Structure 1
Amino acid sequence: MNKDLVWKRLNLYQSADMTQKLLNRCYKNIQIDNHEIKSYDNCYPFIYFLQHGEMYYSQAEHAPIPIKPVLLFYGLIHLIKACLLSVDPDYPESTSVLAHGVSSRKKKKQHYQFMNDEIKIQKMGLCTHFSKKMFHVEHLEGEKIIMKDLFYQIPELDDCFTFNNECNIIHILKNNIEYAIPLSILDQYHLTLDSFTRLLKDKNAISIQTINYNKDYIIIKSTNEDTPLLPFRFHLTKNSFCLPNKQAKYMYYPELIIHYLLLYNLSMIARYETEWWCELIKTTPTNDYPFISTFLSITAEKTPYLIFKYLQSKL
């Protein structure tokens, strides 16, 4: 689905009547008192968050790279706030959830590389709040994360990794309810077939009917055509599903969290590390630039798509 179609689909929510019905349904499902009143109260804030988010993305499309991260980050924040209203009718209940909820290194070291940079998730703020409310992901506070580890979880960066003789994903062949996963994944994950099957079952990634294998693939037949859940990810540009090339705890982070954290750090650098940021863009001295520029192109399309899919799941 291209970005123009995604925004057209998101624009369908810019109707007070439709949005009120959506929010009312969401609130009833989570047993909110006075759900109908709250759905009326929140339908216009919901619409305005989507409108503001789209404006930031629209400006980012035509903006030079130096300011793209700032525009995309604030655009994503507004889209996330719209989604939050579908699960948290009292948002923002306090000022503590308005902060970004992430911190970065204040002073960049000599020979700084973005790929090796680190951020820390704070106890309070938007990051932990939307992670918990939207995805039921908890205990993120205090987590220190390296940027390259986040890049590994972006499927569409596969060409960048391949160019650098690395691999971040394993492509999956999917045909209706059948999945063909390269058998080599067992070596990559250091698992037996039984252990790998348990991993998928424990995470409810696929509703497994049968599982077999041949010399090249693990063949899984699902009980339905539902979209597979984490650790599976969707490669937007190749319209296919994939798995991370190696096991890591971030493989279970919903992709909106991954994009939020990367955009946070890039936006902070664009605002407060002007000298390094401009040198990176003008002289491209390291591998950082191709990864960052490619990621900015990806996130401009992928995050609205992820927001659309999230809201679609509420219908």
Structure 2
Amino acid sequence: MIHLDARMYFSCLSSQKASYDFLTACYKRRNIEDADALAYSNAQAFLHYNTQGLDLYEQGIRLPQSMKPLLYFYGAAHLVKGCLLTVCPGYPEQTSQLAHGVSARKRKKRDFVFLQDEVKIQHQGLFPCLAEYLFGISQFTELKIPMADLIAAIPEMITLLARQKGSTLAAVGNVQSKQIILPEAMCDGHHATWQTLLRRIASGLPKIQHYNQTSNGLEVLLEEVPSCMNNIGFFTAGNGTIYTGLVKNTTSGMSEMMIHYLLLYNLSMLSRYETEWWGDLLSLREDLDYQAISIYLDTAALKFPLLAAAWLNAMENGKNPGAAKRRD
């Protein structure tokens, strides 16, 4: 699944007939009444969300770095809305769901540092819909999410962070293996026993067959390979390596799709409304903020469409655990 090409996958849904068939199958699998009629009425919107989302990413790749966050964020929002239509045929059910669902600090200090910034999750809007309808998360223990936590949860940022104060991610497995090995340090970092940790991470993995404590940590054997890239609390690099956080923080209960949405939202706001700071960042290129943002934008350009395609592919095959948890 990690090698899935996003453009190729979405090209298979690039006609109204293909979109209709896809939605019909999704609705019937979830036993939604009037599946055929709802799929017919949503097919065109589903097609346009996907097409426009990918187009925004492809245009963003060609544009100067100063404009990338804006196109990437709205590309992500379009792809999220396409995913939502597969599990919530009435979306948007109210106008409040059209809001971003997250807010940023209104006033920046003179010595503003991106990695010290944070965003606040709102109770209504697109982000809460993304969390609940796609991943079964209806409540958050923390509403204010630091940028440092979000950046640290992206596997492609490990090399940069390791040169600074170290990465908080640990490699625990691969998408082609049924076994994951949780390091001993996780118990201390999460202030929990193995039994408590297993309960917390169970929703982010296929069913656990059995586990065994060793000198290396906890060896966990799954009933099937964790092929979906959108596991809660687990993050997948481009080479298929699966990572999880050694330390419990505000991203521990999130999927990578959710994390990218929050990062892209804040970066899009900075590029639009903090013009002087944004311009200095891109022209001077002199601190960790620039390095982190530059590497992250290159990652997000390729990875968010891949995450959306992976989510739809899992949904198509009836293997998405988050969508199955939706509270109707």
Q: State if a TM-score over 0.5 links the two structures.
A: yes
Partner of 2:12: 12
Q: Does 1:306 align with 2:280?
A: no
Shift of 1:307: 0.3
Aligned counterpart, 2:326 = none
Which residue does 1:74 correspond to in 2?
A: 74
Whether the 8 Å CA contact 1:128–1:140 is kept in 2: the answer is no
Within 5 Å, give how 1:227-238 maps onto structure 2.
Answer: 227=227, 229-236=231-238, 238=239
Structure 1 SS opposite 2:120: strand
How has the CA–CA distance of structure 1 residues 292 and 217 changed in structure 2, closer, same or farther, with 3 Å as cutoff? same
Q: CA deviation at 1:206?
A: 4.4
Residues in 2 aligned to 1:199 and 1:102: alpha-carbon distance in whole angstroms: 25
2:27 maps to what in 1?
27
Superposed, 1:23-62 pairs within 5 Å as 23-62=23-62
Structure 1 residues 169 and 33: CA distance shift in structure 2, 3 A: same
Structural mapping, 1:212-227, within 5 Å: 212-227=212-227
The equivalent residue for 1:64 is: 64
TM-score (normalizing by structure 1): 0.91
Superposed CA RMSD: 2.3
Q: Secondary structure at the match of 2:33?
A: coil
Q: For 2:315, what is the secondary structure of its paired residue? A: coil
Q: Deviations over 1:234-270 (max 9, x none)?
A: 122x321111121124211121111111111110110
Asked if 1 retains the 8 angstrom alpha-carbon contact of 2:101 and 2:124, the reply is yes
1:287–1:260 CA distance, 2 compared to 1 (3 A): same
Distance in 1, matches of 2:256 and 2:226, equals 18
Aligned to 1:253: 254
CA separation in 2, counterparts of 1:141 and 1:121?
Answer: 11
Q: Structure 1: any 5+ residue segments left out of the alignment? A: none
Counterpart of 1:296 in structure 2 is 297
Task: Return closer, same or farther for 1:222/1:141 CA change in 2, 3 Å cut-off.
Answer: closer
Give the % identical residues.
Answer: 32
User: What amino acid is aligned across from residue 287 of structure 1 in structure 2?
Assistant: L
Tell me what 2:167 maps to.
Answer: 167
Deviation at 1:194, TM superposition (A): 4.0
**Residue 142 of structure 2 is aligned to residue 146 of structure 1:** no
CA contact (8 A) 2:206 2:225 kept: no
Task: Give the Cα–Cα distance (whole angstroms) in 2 for the partners of residues 274 and 139 of structure 1.
Answer: 34
- Give the Å deviation of 1:297: 0.8
Q: Does 1:188 align with 2:180?
A: no
TM-aligned CA distance change 1:47 to 1:290, over 3 Å: same
CA distance in 1, matches of 2:272, 2:284: 19
**Shift of residue 86 of structure 1?**
0.6
Q: Spell out, residue by residue over 1:99-133, the C-alpha distance to the aligned partner (whole angstroms, 9 max, x if none).
A: 21222122211200011112222222211122222
What is the deviation of 1:73?
0.5
SS of residue matched to 1:166: coil
Structure 2 length normalisation: TM-score? 0.88
**SS of alignment partner, residue 313 of structure 1:** helix
Alignment partner of 1:156: what SS?
helix
Write the distance in 1 (CA, Å) between the matches of 2:123 and 2:192: 34
CA distance in 2, matches of 1:2, 1:223: 19
* 1-structure distance, mates of 2:215, 2:140: 40
* Structure ranking higher on relative contact order (CA contacts 8 Å, 6+ apart): 2
Question: 2: CA distance between counterparts of 1:45 and 1:204?
Answer: 30
Report the AA paired with residue 97 of structure 1: Q
- Comparing 252-261 and 134-143, the one that deviates more: 134-143
| Number of the residue aligned with 1:105 | 105
| Counterparts of 1:177 and 1:128, CA distance in 2 | 31
Q: Is the Cα contact below 8 Å between 2:149 and 2:250 reproduced in 1?
A: no
Q: Which deviates the most, 6-15 or 28-37?
A: 28-37
Q: What is the DSSP-based 3-state SS (H/G/I as helix, E as strand, rest coil) of the residue aligned with 1:10? A: helix
Which stretch of structure 1 is more off in the superposition, 9-18 or 34-43? 9-18
Q: Secondary structure at the match of 2:109?
A: coil
* Distance (whole Å) between structure 1 residues aligned to residue 183 and residue 139 of structure 2: 33
| Aligned residue number for residue 272 of structure 2 | 271
Evaluate the alpha carbon distance shift between residue 181 and residue 131 of structure 1 in structure 2; reply closer, same or farther with a 3 A threshold: closer
Partner of 2:137: 137
How far apart, CA to CA, are the structure 2 residues paired with 1:133 and 1:91? 10
1:36 and 1:52, CA in 2 relative to 1: closer, same or farther beyond 3 A? Answer: same
The alignment covers a number of residue pairs equal to 313
Range moving further from structure 2, 21-30 or 59-68: 21-30
**Closer, same or farther: CA 173–2 of 1 in aligned 2, 3 Å:** closer
Alpha-carbon deviations, 1:127-160, whole Å to 9, x = none? 1122222222213598122111211221221111
Q: Is the 8 A contact 1:69 1:266 kept in 2?
A: yes
Gaps of 5+ in 2: 317-328
